[in-house]
């Protein structure tokens, strides 16, 4: 049996090692909770506690029995976690296979999917089970820290956006302290004699863990965007706005409620920022991002509850900057649309938002900038004429004022945002519909290098705390990116004329209004063969970037794993090399006596027991008994030591040189007498450095 000496499972040192592993495992569970954006998840305590309990209770059983028992515990834990998160047995298998990918391909915090929790619990259980088993083994107990550190680094990296996890790092360092101190040698007699091991290894673990924690949080975050369930494929959303407005009878789409509902007037469902001369669209991919969408600004938070009523409604609406959602959602990187996950309707979620502000030059701050396209740049001269002088924010405000005051809105005009129609509206007739107003303003603003876009959604004017959004309330409006997010720009004047009158007075050829669908905007599933409505997404070859990132992570993880041992080895080696300074002394007699003392140190580190009462001859006999390979050189070195100790004649330099050679032969014979692992154990042994077991010649 490879258990450490002691009275069974109640051996004090074994209990302390088991408790240290438990502390480490609880820290691992707390770090796992950070992955999903909380401070504690009781369900993640199950794998931590169960793995330690089984490992401690079954420590004396054969390896196969221990492994089978831990396997049963692993499966039981995974099923318990899956069912606790309202999942089923299938989620356990899916969590092991797909949970890690889901965790790293969703924005922080990860959604509360049963599969992600199963993956986190599996990592906790495996790291803890391996660690507790090593802690109970005589030969490998010093390595119990390794699997726990690997698990902790992985967990910290996946929860990186939450920042450095100081309290978890401190508890992990304390546990590592204990595991290294007691684990490296069960014969440490006191805190005083074991202080060197504890302080050096523990300090190294603390520094390495803190360093990797901060590095992972700031530079080695493994989360990355990945193609998910659907592409952004909003087909002519402006035309859909017109179709919804004209639907008769109108249809209820959403129920919204909030204590601040009276302040929330525009509810955006999509944002459009790509114009090809014929229509507006948006491009990108939707990925599940969990519950947190944005960190927010200093603006006050507002809570709104949204209920999607229709089965064909696929997008959530929001009245401003989305910060958090009570249910997981899908969205693109720019948060242009937020998709409902799942097909069950009605679907309900509660958003925490910052209300979208109205644009004013005085409060805008710095405006977001873009590089205009060729189409947008063609409006630059006209835009500068309308905008006048002043800051860029003042120019944008002047553009909005000009369109509002000098142009006329006629919502009865036939639809269409083709470039020739927009040109005629801006430069000639100055009469247009909502689509042409918002298109004209956004093209003018973008020609000046300002990041502007079209928002589609609904206009709500309610004085109560709840209301229903219908197709009749569909609307489009322009937005400009300001310091705090996106601000709505008011450009629409009052409707000026009846549809029949305006159609004739426009003086411009209009494309006939096509029959439009009455449905709210949809996000279509990705179709690899039909992307005509979506400008292609530029894909860059970032393979080398990915390789370098994973090399960085591998280096950080390996450094954290090896750093405590490297520091410990460096401290022990430094102390032993300091003792060899006497081999270069000018006095030959000192070189001989130093070689003799170092030979006894080597024997003690190899397992020999040398007593203060031993004569030189008895020291040789005890040394040869422990290490027969040291025989002839040890006897010859003893004769040199006797000659120096018991004679008054001057020591011959040749005798000193031969004594040093015999010491090297002794050390070489001991080093080559066993396995490579044993050589390292012999060289790093602290028996010769501790007062209780050091050479009697010191």
The string of pLDDT tens digits covering residues 130-180 is 989 888 876 676 677 778 877 877 887 777 655 566 677 777 777 776 766
Say whether both 406 and 461 belong to one domain: yes
Q: Which two tokens stand for residue 270?
A: 């999509």
Say whether both 59 and 208 belong to one domain: yes
Say whether both 420 and 467 belong to one domain: yes
Do the beta carbons of residue 78 and residue 44 sit within 8 Å?
no
Which ranges in 247-328 belong to alpha helices (H)?
Answer: none
Q: Which two tokens stand for residue 144?
A: 């119990």
| Strand ranges in 109-257 using DSSP code E only, listed in sequence order | 230-231, 252-257
Query: What is the rounded CA–CA span in Å between residue 129 and residue 46?
Result: 12
Residue 5 confidence (pLDDT): 40
Q: Do the domain assignments include residue 43?
A: yes
Given 471, 505, 539, the domain boundary residue is 505
- As a whole number, mean pLDDT of residues 430-442 equals 93
- How would residue 561 be classed by pLDDT, with cut points 50, 70 and 90? low
Report in angstroms the alpha-carbon separations of 89 from 113, 173, 343.
Answer: 14, 36, 22
Given 184, 218, 252, the domain boundary residue is 218
Q: Which two tokens stand for residue 310?
A: 């229709």
pLDDT higher at 102 or 401? 401
Query: What is the rounded CA–CA span in Å between residue 49 and residue 22?
Result: 7
Say whether both 191 and 279 belong to one domain: no
- How would residue 404 be classed by pLDDT, with cut points 50, 70 and 90? very high
Do the beta carbons of residue 193 and residue 692 sit within 8 Å?
yes
The string of pLDDT tens digits covering residues 82-93 is 999 888 888 898
Say whether both 139 and 108 belong to one domain: yes
Say whether both 78 and 143 belong to one domain: yes
Q: What secondary structure letter does DSSP report for 440?
A: H
Q: What secondary structure letter does DSSP report for 490?
A: -
Given 489, 505, 521, the domain boundary residue is 505
Domain encompassing residue 296: 230-505
- How would residue 209 be classed by pLDDT, with cut points 50, 70 and 90? low
Q: Do the domain assignments include residue 577?
A: no
The total number of structural domains that make up the chain: 3
Say whether both 294 and 210 belong to one domain: no
Say whether both 212 and 317 belong to one domain: no
Q: Do the domain assignments include residue 101?
A: yes
Residues 6+ apart with CB under 8 A from 244: 471, 472, 474, 518, 520
Say whether both 297 and 379 belong to one domain: yes
Say whether both 278 and 303 belong to one domain: yes
Q: Which two tokens stand for residue 630?
A: 């040291």
Say whether both 210 and 275 belong to one domain: no
């Amino acid at each position: 049996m490879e258990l450490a000496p002691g009275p069974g499972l109640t051996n004090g040192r074994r209990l302390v090692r088991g408790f240290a592993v438990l502390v480490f495992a609880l820290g691992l569970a707390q770090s796992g909770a950070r992955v999903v954006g909380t401070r504690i998840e009781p369900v993640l305590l199950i794998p931590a506690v169960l793995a330690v309990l089984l490992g401690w209770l079954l420590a004396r059983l054969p390896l196969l029995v221990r492994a089978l028992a831990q396997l049963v515990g692993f499966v039981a834990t995974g099923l318990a976690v899956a069912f606790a998160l309202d999942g089923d047995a299938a989620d356990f298998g899916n969590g092991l296979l797909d949970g890690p990918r889901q965790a790293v391909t969703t924005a922080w915090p990860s959604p509360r999917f049963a599969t992600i929790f199963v993956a986190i619990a599996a990592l906790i259980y495996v790291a803890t089970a391996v660690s507790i088993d090593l802690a109970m083994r005589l030969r490998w107990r010093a390595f119990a820290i390794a699997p726990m550190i690997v698990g902790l680094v992985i967990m910290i990296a996946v929860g990186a956006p939450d920042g450095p996890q100081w309290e978890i790092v401190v508890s992990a360092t304390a546990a590592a302290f204990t595991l290294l101190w007691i684990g490296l040698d069960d014969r440490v007699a006191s805190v005083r004699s074991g202080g060197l091991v504890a302080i050096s290894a523990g300090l190294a673990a603390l520094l390495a863990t803190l360093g990797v924690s901060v590095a992972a949080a700031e530079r080695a975050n493994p989360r990355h965007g990945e193609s998910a369930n659907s592409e952004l494929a909003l087909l002519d959303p402006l035309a859909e706005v017109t179709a919804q407005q004209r639907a008769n009878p109108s249809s209820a789409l959403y129920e919204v409620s909030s204590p601040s509902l009276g302040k929330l007037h525009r509810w955006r469902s999509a944002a459009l920022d790509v114009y090809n001369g014929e229509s507006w669209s948006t491009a990108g991919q939707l990925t599940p991002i969990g519950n947190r969408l944005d960190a927010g600004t200093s603006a006050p938070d507002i809570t709104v509850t949204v209920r999607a009523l229709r089965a064909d409604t696929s997008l959530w609406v929001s009245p401003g900057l989305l910060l958090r959602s009570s249910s997981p959602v899908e969205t693109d990187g720019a948060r242009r649309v937020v998709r409902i996950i799942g097909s069950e309707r009605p679907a309900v979620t509660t958003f925490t938002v910052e209300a979208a502000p109205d644009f004013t030059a005085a409060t805008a701050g710095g405006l977001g900038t873009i590089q205009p396209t060729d189409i947008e740049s063609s409006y630059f001269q006209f835009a500068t004429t309308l905008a006048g002088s002043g800051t860029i924010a003042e120019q944008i405000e002047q553009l909005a004022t000009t369109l509002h005051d000098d142009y006329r809105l006629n919502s009865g005009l036939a639809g269409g945002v083709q470039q020739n129609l927009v040109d005629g509206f801006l430069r000639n007739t100055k009469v247009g519909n909502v689509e042409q107003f918002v298109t004209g303003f956004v093209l003018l603003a973008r020609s000046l290098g300002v990041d502007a876009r079209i928002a589609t959604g609904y206009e709500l004017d309610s004085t109560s705390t709840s209301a229903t959004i219908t197709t009749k309330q569909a609307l489009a409006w322009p937005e400009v990116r300001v310091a705090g997010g996106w601000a709505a720009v008011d450009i629409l004047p009052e409707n000026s004329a009846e549809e029949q009158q305006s159609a004739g007075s426009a003086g411009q050829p209009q494309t006939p209004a096509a029959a439009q669908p009455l449905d709210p905007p949809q996000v279509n599933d990705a179709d690899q063969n039909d992307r005509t409505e979506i400008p292609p997404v530029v894909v860059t070859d970032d393979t080398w970037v990915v390789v370098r990132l994973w090399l960085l992570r591998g280096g950080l993880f390996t450094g954290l794993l090896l750093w405590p041992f490297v520091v410990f080895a460096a401290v022990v080696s430094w102390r032993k090399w300091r003792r060899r300074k006497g081999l270069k002394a000018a006095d030959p007699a000192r070189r001989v006596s130093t070689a003799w003392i170092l030979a006894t140190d080597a024997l003690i580190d190899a397992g020999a027991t040398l007593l203060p009462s031993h004569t030189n001859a008895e020291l040789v006999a005890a040394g040869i008994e422990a290490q027969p390979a040291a025989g002839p050189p040890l006897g010859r070195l003893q004769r040199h030591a006797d000659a120096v100790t018991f004679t008054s004649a001057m020591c011959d330099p040749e005798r000193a040189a031969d004594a040093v050679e015999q010491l090297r032969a002794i050390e070489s014979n001991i080093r080559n007498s066993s396995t490579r692992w044993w050589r390292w154990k012999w060289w790093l042994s602290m028996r010769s450095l501790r007062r209780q077991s050091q050479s009697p010649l010191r």
